[in-house]
Amino acid sequence: MKQVILTGDRPTGCLHLGHFIGSLQNRVRLQHEYQQFIMIANWQALTDNAENPDKVKNNVLEVACDYLAVGIDPQVSTIFIQSEIPEIAELTGYYMNLVTLARLERNPTVKNEMQQKGYGNNVPAGFLAYPVSQAADITAFKAQIVPAGEDQLPIIEQTNEIIRKFNTLYGNILPETKVLLSSVARLPGIDGKTKMSKSLGNAIFLSDGSDIVRQKIMMMYTDPNHLKVSDPGQVEGNTVFAYLDAFDADKQKVFELKEHYKRGGLGDVALKKYLFEVIENILAPIRKRRLELTKNTDEVLNILHKGSLQAKEVAATTLKEVKSAMGLSYF
């Protein structure tokens, strides 16, 4: 029997190149090797978007189109909407009793995101406790593997703490999980900042048109001291080269470009034009498939409905086992 993988995204915007290189390519590959559940985490997205539910609702379809456009096959991967699985919410409630407030406040991932959002003491309870929700996501499907970046390691650690506490109290019901780390480090934004996001306005999205992609690449941060074509340039910290390292399959070509840039004689405009060709070769077929999907949203919604029914069946079985172990089955 295949091992189970759980992965997913919060629908707070369309997916970008960071998602593509960091997780989407892996999901396309892994779907043929594992039993893969892919969750659109709309309930979790509300933990910091409660006042803007339309944003979350509208982006569920956008994220689903991104998934299908990159090649995730609903015949072999189960794509579902988190809020359609009430069993996850019930599991979250039970797990809340297995973790302390102090432990949630110590989670490095949560602390960093709270700081980025400037929450302080005004953090929504749901946001502070979202590692518990993620533990419910993972255990609902008894996922042994969670593909994720290094920033998610504290979340998985806390998930396994909850699992161990549950198993100690109620019996060995839930398997522990492990992270499958992405082979590519986090992709920087086009402004050179380490985080790429819609809110920072520094992302290239899978839904962007060719002209927009070109415009964004031409704005990309390079070496501020590389003022003339003849000047030697710096490769380290140069966003264009970070993208070429991630997306250009011709590694020898990238090496030669780096050497040329370092000794001088290679301009930023020429370098960016080459990067545009590389990125456009990747995005053009995705964009074409995505456009076809957006013209047939009923079919996309049907895929999500079927996937949610399949996911609910699996989660309901897990919840039944959990409640039985906890002595909560009465009828």
Give the per-residue pLDDT at 302. 98
List the beta bridge partners of residue 80.
39
- The answer to whether 205 touches 290, Cβ cutoff 8 Å, is no
**Banded pLDDT at 113 (limits 50, 70, 90):** confident
Widest CA span in the chain = 80
Strand, coil or helix: 239: helix
Domains by residue range for the chain, with CATH: 4-188+297-325 (3.40.50.620), 210-291 (1.10.240.10)
CA separation for the pair 12, 131 (Å, rounded): 18
Strand 35-40 relative to strand 145-148, pairing: unpaired
The answer to whether the predicted template modeling score (pTM) of the entire model surpasses 0.85 is yes
Going across the sheet that includes 77-81, the strands are: 77-81, 35-40, 4-9, 145-148, 178-181
Give the per-residue pLDDT at 331. 87
Rounded to an integer, the average pLDDT of 256-265 is: 96
CA separation for the pair 315, 310 (Å, rounded): 9
Rounded to an integer, the average pLDDT of 131-150 is: 94
Q: Is the pLDDT of residue 287 over 70?
A: yes
**Banded pLDDT at 182 (limits 50, 70, 90):** confident
- The answer to whether 85 touches 315, Cβ cutoff 8 Å, is yes
> Residues 19-42: pLDDT tens digits?
888 788 889 999 999 999 999 999
Q: What is the dihedral of CA 128, 131, 137, 139, to 10 degrees?
A: -140
CA separation for the pair 304, 286 (Å, rounded): 19
Give the per-residue pLDDT at 184. 67
Strand, coil or helix: 154: helix
Report DSSP state, residue 171: -
> Residues 61-96: pLDDT tens digits?
999 999 999 999 999 999 999 999 999 999 999 999
Q: What are phi and psi of 322, to 5 degrees?
A: -65, -45
Contacts (Cβ under 8 Å, ≥6 apart) of 184: 21, 22, 246
**Banded pLDDT at 2 (limits 50, 70, 90):** confident
Mean pLDDT across the chain, nearest whole number? 93
Rounded to an integer, the average pLDDT of 50-56 is: 94
Higher pLDDT, 37 or 183: 37
Q: Which residues of 69-108 are buried (b: 16+ CB within 10 A; e: fewer)?
A: bbebebeebbbbbbbbbebbebbbebbeebbeeeebeebe
**Portion of the chain with pLDDT greater than 70, in percent:** 99
Rounded to an integer, the average pLDDT of 306-325 is: 98
CA separation for the pair 93, 63 (Å, rounded): 27
Which tokens go with 78? 């189960």
Q: Is the pLDDT of residue 175 over 70?
A: yes
3-state helix, strand, coil in the chain (%, to 5): 60, 10, 35
